[in-house]
């Protein structure tokens, strides 16, 4: 039975059901009874494996098809009416063509299956930040993941009332046919169509598809921002909490920083870090004129390999109950899970991520490098008391960062908001030798939004500049960090992880006007004595080395920026063109 009288929802659901032709339609009310029933069904069909309920209560394992293990950027399209509005960084498809092409693929794609209608909210239900979505899917795995990643259930319809303001998401596994896999976004229609995939980033439509691609477009229209950012709260010994939002590209450490455990010297003074979000932030100007943020998600969809008791104990603790693991190793001895980098004891009697008998001595990886956990946020030991707050948290600092072997210093502060937008727009990561064999190939990833911006990147930068004008002197300060400077042998110099607290400490001091800095052509760099090295085996010389700004490297960098900016033609805001010219002048 339908869970709403909302005519817009009912009409759209009818239309999609007529198209996809499922045998049955089930409305998801969010109750534990219904979810339990779905878990039982998924267990029976082997879609999910119930794990050891003493060691991992409420946890399940799922394996995707072997050719369906990651987001597919080349099959992801922004279907704006005008091609120019998708911009040079997105794939574009004409919306008419996309509806037509995918319509044919969706036609009868759910025959023999059940369609699940999922009402969900991105952001706490009832918060002025929040937005409703409805996803129709033929995958129980999607329903159970959405139950962790979003606030899901019939209350969402109550909050929606008879409004038309919800995002329409249609997903079908169809035949899981790689050749016909498409993830299409129709920003002008608040619509997402995803077909032939079963992988998280392509099918949990509330996450990247809605909360970043569609929401970034909505934010531009409505005067707010959807960003690929973690949000953390830093509590000082007096109990005051300052909030930081940070954008790093995928695999550059957002989940790690969001759940940071401060080093002993800080802990014993009473410093604490609180996690508000590890991947996405929605930012609005509050009644007080400051920038406020909420995490629209309700769980963590984190990379499993490398997560362990040392690297990220809070993330690991979050996965100990109510979690769905995807594409990790199945330990048959005690019916638990394992992945590379969890510990030094790979299970002897085990199946790899493909479900094949696996011998750790074979040298083959047991877990897929992009294997993931879907864990409830409330499991996280350092989850912020403000996690569910409907007004969000006030942001003091915005931090950008990427992987740069030599160019970017450990940390620097932009001169002002506009200069900060420039710093975000030139964000980049280098491929490491270990990863590809090619050293120093620079991939520009402005604001870590390259794969996620739902409209023209030049207009997106203009929106950032506009937000700064509205915020005026209440704007957060903008910084850039780089945990990844390497020595001549390619080793990371900065210890990173928990010790990144020392850098956050400087950032907050700068926001409070309590720390000095040296001005360089790129912005303000800390004085070495202002970064607290107490309790750390790290010399002031090493610190000076990673704080250094090499003018020759930066001159070369300006050429790369020039080339990149060239793509955006006259949609590149004049302010950024001016910023680049200023940087060039300062370097000469």
Nearest to 576 by CA among 468, 430, 432, 440: 468
Q: Which range binds ligand GTP by CB under 6 A, 95-103, 244-252, 465-473, 517-525?
A: 244-252
Measure the CA–CA gap between 243 and 292, rounded to whole angstroms.
9
Q: Which of 92, 271, 492, 564 binds ligand GTP (CB under 6 A)?
A: 492
In the numeric block, the tokens 């270990």 are attached to 434
What are the structure tokens assigned to 181, written together?
């896999």
Q: Which residues are annotated as a binding site for Mn(2+)?
A: 208, 228, 279
The verdict on 227 binding Mn ion (CB under 5 A) reads no
The verdict on 248 binding ligand GTP (CB under 6 A) reads yes
**Residue 98 or residue 276: which is nearer to Mn ion going by CB?**
276
Q: Which residue is nearest to Mn ion (CB)?
A: 255
Site string for ligand GTP, 48-87 (x = CB under 6 A): ----------------------------------------
**Residue of 184, 252, 275, 382 marked catalytic:** 252
3-state secondary structure 202-248: HHCCHHHHHHHHHHHHHHHHHCCEEECCEEEEEECCCCCEEEEEEEC
Q: Give least dist CB 548 to Mn ion, A.
A: 30
**Residue 150 or residue 256: which is nearer to ligand GTP going by CB?**
256
Q: Give least dist CB 62 to ligand GTP, A.
A: 18
252 is catalytic: yes
**Residue 181 or residue 254: which is nearer to ligand GTP going by CB?**
254
Residues belonging to the chain: 588
In the numeric block, the tokens 């970064």 are attached to 531
Measure the CA–CA gap between 541 and 493, rounded to whole angstroms.
12
The verdict on 500 binding ligand GTP (CB under 6 A) reads yes
Contact 430, 441 (CB under 8 A): yes
Q: Which residue is nearest to ligand GTP (CB)?
A: 496
The verdict on 252 binding ligand GTP (CB under 6 A) reads yes
Size, binding site for ligand GTP by CB under 6 A = 18
Measure the CA–CA gap between 320 and 187, rounded to whole angstroms.
37
**Residue 119 or residue 201: which is nearer to ligand GTP going by CB?**
201
Q: Which of 20, 80, 197, 255 binds Mn ion (CB under 5 A)?
A: 255
Q: Which residues are annotated as a binding site?
A: 71, 199-201, 208, 228, 250-256, 279, 370-372, 403, 497-500
DSSP summary character for residue 476: P
The verdict on 493 binding ligand GTP (CB under 6 A) reads no
Q: Give least dist CB 492 to ligand GTP, A.
A: 4
Residues 282-321, interacting with ligand GTP (CB under 6 A): 303, 306, 311
Q: Give least dist CB 253 to Mn ion, A.
A: 8
**Residue 139 or residue 255: which is nearer to ligand GTP going by CB?**
255
List phi, psi (to 5°) of 529.
-70, -10
Q: Which of 68, 135, 279, 557 binds Mn ion (CB under 5 A)?
A: 279
Which contacts of 497-501 are long-range, i.e. CB under 8 A and separated by 24 or more positions?
A: 497/256, 497/260, 497/311, 497/312, 498/260, 498/261, 498/262, 498/263, 499/263, 499/536, 500/257, 500/260, 501/260, 501/262, 501/263, 501/266, 501/271, 501/273
Q: Which of 496, 560, 564, 586 binds ligand GTP (CB under 6 A)?
A: 496
Q: Select from Mn ion, ligand GTP, none the partner in contact with residue 560, using the beta carbon and a kind-dependent cut-off of 5 to 8 Å.
A: none
Measure the CA–CA gap between 331 and 345, rounded to whole angstroms.
11
What are the structure tokens assigned to 543, written together?
């610190």
Contact 192, 211 (CB under 8 A): no
Q: Which residues are annotated as a binding site for GTP?
A: 251-256, 372, 403, 497-500
Q: What is the largest CA-CA distance in the chain?
A: 70
Measure the CA–CA gap between 231 and 512, rounded to whole angstroms.
19
Q: Which of 227, 279, 340, 505 binds ligand GTP (CB under 6 A)?
A: 279
List CB contacts of 265: < 8 A, sequence separation 6 or more.
532, 534, 535
Q: Give least dist CB 361 to Mn ion, A.
A: 31
Could you list the active site residues?
A: 252
Residues in contact with ligand GTP by the rule CB under 6 A = 248, 250-256, 279, 303, 306, 311, 483-484, 492, 496-497, 500
């Amino acid at each position: 039975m339908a869970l709403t009288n909302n005519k817009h929802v009912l009409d759209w659901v009818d239309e999609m059901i007529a198209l996809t032709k499922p045998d049955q339609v089930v409305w998801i009310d969010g109750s534990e009874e219904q979810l339990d029933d779905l878990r039982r069904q998924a267990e029976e069909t082997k879609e999910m494996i119930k794990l050891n309920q003493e060691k991992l209560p409420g946890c399940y394992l799922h394996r995707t098809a072997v050719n369906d293990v990651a987001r597919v950027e080349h099959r992801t399209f922004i279907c704006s009416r005008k091609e120019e509005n998708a911009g040079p960084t997105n794939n574009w498809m004409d919306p008419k063509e996309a509806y037509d092409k995918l319509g044919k693929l969706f036609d009868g794609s759910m025959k023999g299956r059940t369609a699940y209608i999922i009402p969900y909210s991105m952001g706490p239900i009832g918060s002025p930040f929040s937005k409703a979505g409805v996803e129709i899917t033929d995958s129980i795995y999607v329903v159970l993941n959405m139950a962790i990643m979003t606030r899901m259930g019939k209350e969402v319809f109550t909050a929606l009332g008879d409004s038309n303001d919800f995002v329409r998401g249609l997903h079908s596994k169809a035949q899981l046919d790689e050749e016909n896999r498409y993830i299409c976004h129709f920003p002008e229609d608040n619509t997402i169509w995803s077909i032939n995939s079963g992988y998280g980033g392509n099918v949990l439509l509330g996450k990247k598809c809605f909360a970043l691609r569609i929401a970034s477009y909505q934010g531009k229209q409505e005067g707010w921002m959807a960003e690929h950012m973690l949000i953390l709260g830093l509590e000082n010994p007096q109990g005051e909490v300052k909030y930081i939002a940070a954008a790093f590209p995928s695999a550059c450490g957002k989940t790690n920083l969001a759940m940071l455990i401060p080093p002993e010297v800080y802990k014993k003074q009473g410093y604490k870090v609180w996690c508000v979000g590890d991947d996405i932030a929605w930012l609005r100007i509050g009644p007080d004129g400051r920038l406020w943020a909420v995490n629209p998600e309700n769980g963590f969809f984190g990379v499993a390999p490398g997560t362990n008791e040392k690297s990220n104990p809070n993330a690991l603790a979050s996965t100990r109950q109510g979690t769905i693991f995807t594409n990790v190793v199945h330990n048959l001895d005690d019916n638990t899970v394992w992945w590379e980098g969890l510990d030094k004891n790979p299970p002897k009697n085990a199946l790899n991520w493909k479900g094949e008998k696996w011998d750790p001595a074979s040298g083959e990886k047991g877990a897929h490098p992009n294997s993931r956990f879907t864990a409830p946020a409330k499991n996280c030991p350092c989850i912020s008391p403000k996690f569910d707050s409907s007004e969000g948290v006030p942001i003091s600092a915005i931090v950008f960062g990427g992987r740069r072997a030599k160019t970017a210093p450990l940390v620097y502060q932009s001169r002002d908001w506009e200069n900060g937008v420039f710093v975000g727009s030139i964000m980049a990561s280098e491929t490491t030798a270990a990863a590809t064999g090619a050293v120093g190939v620079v991939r520009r990833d402005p604001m870590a939004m390259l794969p996620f911006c739902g409209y023209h990147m030049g207009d997106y930068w203009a929106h950032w500049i506009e937000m700064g004008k509205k915020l005026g002197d209440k704007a957060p300060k903008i910084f850039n960090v780089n945990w990844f400077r390497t020595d001549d042998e390619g080793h990371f110099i900065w210890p990173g992880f928990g010790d990144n607290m020392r850098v956050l400490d400087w950032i907050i001091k700068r926001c409070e006007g309590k720390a000095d800095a040296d001005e360089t052509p790129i912005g303000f760099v800390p004085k070495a004595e202002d970064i607290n090295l107490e309790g750390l085996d790290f010399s002031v010389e090493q610190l000076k080395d990673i704080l250094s700004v090499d003018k020759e490297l930066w001159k070369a960098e300006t050429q790369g920026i020039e080339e990149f900016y060239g793509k955006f033609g006259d949609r590149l805001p004049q302010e950024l063109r001016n910023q680049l010219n200023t940087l060039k002048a300062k370097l000469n």
